[in-house]
Amino acid sequence: MKNLIALAQLNPKVGDVEYNKNKVIESIKKAEEKGANLIIFPELFLIGYPMGDILTRYPYIANQQLNALDEIKEYCKNITALIGFSEINKNKFGKPYYNSAALINNKKIEKIIRKTLLPNYSEHNDYRYFESHKTDIENRIFNLNGINYGVAICEDAWNDFDFFEKNLYKIDPINEIASKIDVLLCLSSSCSRAKKEQLKHNMMKFCALKYNIKYVYVNQVGANDELVYDGLSRIYNEKGELIFLSKEFKEDLAVFDLDKTDKSIDLTKDKINLQKKEFSLNYEADLDRTYKSIVLAISEYFSKNNFKRAVLGLSGGLDSTVCAVLLADSLGKENVLGVSMPSGITTNESRNDAKILAKNLGINFLEVPIKTMQGCIKSEFENIFYNVSKNWNSRYENSFTNDNIQARLRGMVLWGIANEYASTLPIATSDKSELYMGYATINGDMSGGYAPIADVVKTKLFSLARWMNKNRKEKDAIPTSIIEKPPGAELAINPKTNKPLLAEEALMPYEFLDEVIWRIENLNQSINNMMQFEFLYEKKNVLDKNTKLMWLEKFFKRLNTALYKWYIVPPYPIIDSYSINKIEFKQPIVSNINYSK
């Protein structure tokens, strides 16, 4: 008998046990047809990941999973299945659930393996729901057709004492079973992030080689709110060679012959040097993943929430341009409506760029000048402020009120269209650099149903735009002028230049700004630290210490007042190694940090 293993890299619906169960049964049938004698599903597949607090809220779902397993086991006569689910903890002590995997064999649940290591960092929140269980060595192992398999649930396999310099847990479940198994089966729901693929690869390779075992990794695929799952399930042989790799960002039910000695697959595109902690503008190695992640994230968010169409403002600037391309590729050009909403400040160049972009993409396009509406609001505001000033002092001499009226009127138009047409969602086009700076208008450009590029910094967006022009089927959809002109919100005139104020004039050079973000997220540096290092920008430009300090202080001052904006930013796909305030780096709005230290 052959040892054919099926890797069920599937996309669950969170909380929809019925749907997920049917997917399991269907996959078991298909795998069996292909001759598989073992099928592995991702972690928590029956409930879907991330599950949030839905088990607390709808406790019936726990039992529903048990019933589903009962039904599933009838299909496991000639095939063994390993399925992730959340199991009720019936003891007096501990959290209400376990993060478990059911091993079904011969129409019976042969054993249940419980997750021992519970991640509670970044997007993970396992310890909120699950009790850690030190699964017995014997219980982690089963024999099938002469092969000894060991089972790990995601984090259980992420605590090698040799591979990591520091370890979050004192137990390494893999080390405990490694000498007793031939093949490690790892059920996972591990979302895609910059550099994580390379880390994962290095770690699994290391583990297979260290213990002289085969390493089978099955990952969830799809996207749920912020989290994008790339799939990329895989198998390593005992030499640590990657001998099988599932599709990326797609469901895939692959069947692999474990006895076959396949040629090793080279992960050339992922040869990222994880040791190199240096800021670089060379984003090339991560653009393909970035593009595919966002396109999948948008399509999943729309389809899982029953939306079909997107409407966004097209300013002729980089952010809305990149969003428009991603939306067109994700939802289909006929389902995207770009609205150019010029005010008195908008340049003709921007208007034309927006028009040409829409034409190149083939999306729907509309021009709605906002001058009349703006005039109407402004004249009312004059009157309002006249009256408010009778009782309140401290009216600003130079306020952003008029800048914001423009942005908010645009938001009003987009939400209006979404209100008027079925299944339509407006898009927030803010990018990560500008969100860090709070350089986004509440109820304006940062308002929308989804924010596709909120975790991508500006300098990377430039690279992404160029990359898309080269790598999409329709080449050069983005007019070169959009990529080449310096970014600006075109909400105000710079009195010094008499032209629309540029973002870099209002903030600081993006090359510098993005390196500050990089240093915060990757090195946890504060102003004093940063003053001691030479920025990439300084290698290319003359920058005196006073200006550098001024920029840094400006950055942190703006960051501090941007905390509230992060709190209300719409959902966005996580792309970077570290993500803006919702997932990592959560900071209370009222906090009072000395950023200069």
Q: Interface residues for a second copy in 454-513 (CB under 8 A)?
A: none
Q: Which of 408, 485, 554, 558 binds a second copy (CB under 8 A)?
A: 408
Count Cα atoms within 13 angstroms, Cβ side, for 342.
16
Segment near a second copy (CB under 8 A); pick from 103-111, 140-148, 316-324, 386-394? 386-394
Edge to edge, the sheet with strand 364-367 lists 364-367, 336-340, 309-313, 424-426
Question: Does residue number 67 form part of the binding site for a second copy (CB under 8 A)?
Answer: no
Stretch that binds a second copy, among 109-117, 147-155, 481-489, 584-592 (CB under 8 A): 584-592
Omega cis (within 30) before 173: no
Residues 6+ apart with CB under 8 A from 295: 326, 329, 330
Chain centre to alpha carbon of residue 102: 29
- Smallest distance, Å, CB 532 to a second copy? 13
CB atoms within 10 A of CB 480: 12
What minimum distance in Å lies between the beta carbon of 128 and a second copy? 5
Q: Which of 372, 498, 532, 546 binds a second copy (CB under 8 A)?
A: 372
Where does this chain touch a second copy (CB under 8 A) — which range of 144-152, 418-426, 466-474, 477-485? 418-426
Phi, psi of 161, deg, nearest 5? -70, -25
Site for a second copy in 203-222 (CB under 8 A): none
Rounded Cα gap, residues 70 and 45, in angstroms: 15
**48 is a contact residue toward a second copy (CB under 8 A):** yes
CA-wise closest residue to 147 among 204, 186, 185, 108:
185
Q: List binders of a second copy among 506-545 (CB under 8 A).
A: 520, 524, 526
Region class of 101: left (phi > 0), else alpha (psi between -120 and 50), else beta: beta
Instruction: Indicate which single residue of 530, 569, 574, 575 sits in contact with a second copy (rule: CB under 8 A).
Output: 569
- Least CB distance to a second copy at residue 249 (A): 16
- Residue 324, both tokens: 């428009």
Q: Give the bridge partners for 103, in sequence order.
A: 82, 111
Q: List the interface residues with a second copy, window 170-189 (CB under 8 A).
A: 170
Rounded least distance, CB 470 to a second copy, Å: 29
152 and 216 Cβ atoms separated by less than 8 Å: no
Which of 108, 145, 475, 567 is the binder for a second copy (CB under 8 A)?
567
Using CB under 8 A, which of the segments 205-213, 287-295, 354-362, 381-389 binds a second copy? 381-389
Q: Is 210 helix (H, G, I), strand (E, B) or coil?
A: helix
Residue 123 CB, shortest distance to a second copy, in Å, is 11
Q: How far is the CB of 14 from a second copy (least distance, A)?
A: 4
Tokens of 199: 């880390």
Rule CB under 8 A: which of 309-348 touch a second copy?
Answer: 309, 334, 337
Q: By rule CB under 8 A, what count of residues binds a second copy?
A: 106
401 lines the binding site for a second copy (CB under 8 A):
yes
| 224, 246, 290, 430: which one binds a second copy (CB under 8 A) | 224
In Å, how far from its chain's centre is CA 33? 35
Of 558, 509, 560, 553, the closest CA to residue 527 belongs to 553
Name residue, tokens 């914001």. Answer: 404
In order, the DSSP letters of 369-393 are: --HHHHHHHHHHHHHHHHHHTTT--
Helix/strand/coil for 398: coil
List the structure tokens of 80: 């063994």
Write down the least CB distance from residue 166 to a second copy, Å: 6
Q: Is 285 among the residues that bind a second copy (CB under 8 A)?
A: no
Task: Give the footprint of a second copy on residues 106-165 (CB under 8 A).
Answer: 120-121, 125, 127-128
By the 8 A CB rule, do 114 and 99 touch? yes
Stretch that binds a second copy, among 138-146, 323-331, 440-448, 509-517 (CB under 8 A): 440-448
Adjacency order of strands within the sheet including 80-88: 108-114, 97-105, 80-88, 38-40, 4-9, 252-257
Judged by CB, which is closer to a second copy: 547, or 587? 587
**Residue 54 in contact with a second copy, rule: CB under 8 A:** yes
Compute the least distance from the CB of residue 35 to a second copy, in Å: 33
For a second copy, the closer of residues 15 and 500 by Cβ is 15
Beta pairing partners, 80: 38
Distance CA 100, CA 140 (A): 11
Please enumerate in sequence order all residues whose Cβ is within 8 A of that of 174, keeping only pairs 6 or more positions apart, or say none: 150, 152, 156, 157, 159, 160, 184, 207, 211
Contact with a second copy (CB under 8 A): which of 78, 143, 261, 423? 423
d(CA 573, CA 301): 10
Q: Which residue stretch of 58-66, 192-200, 273-281, 498-506 sits at the interface with a second copy (rule: CB under 8 A)?
A: 58-66
Contact 208, 172 (CB under 8 A): no
Query: Binding mask 89-108 vs a second copy (x if CB under 8 A, - otherwise)?
Result: ---xxxx-------------
Decide if residue 587 touches a second copy (CB under 8 A): yes
> Strand 336-340 and strand 309-313: pairing?
parallel
Choose between 59 and 486: whose C-beta lies nearer to a second copy.
59
Work out which of 34, 180, 349, 376 binds a second copy, going by CB under 8 A: 376
To a second copy, the closest distance from the beta carbon of 334 in angstroms equals: 8
362 binds a second copy (CB under 8 A): no
Judged by CB under 8 A, the chain residues 16 through 45 that form the site for a second copy are 16, 18-19
Q: Which residue number, 93 or 263, has a Cβ lying nearer to a second copy? A: 93
Does 301 engage in binding with a second copy (CB under 8 A)? yes
Displacement of CA 521 from its chain's centroid (Å): 16
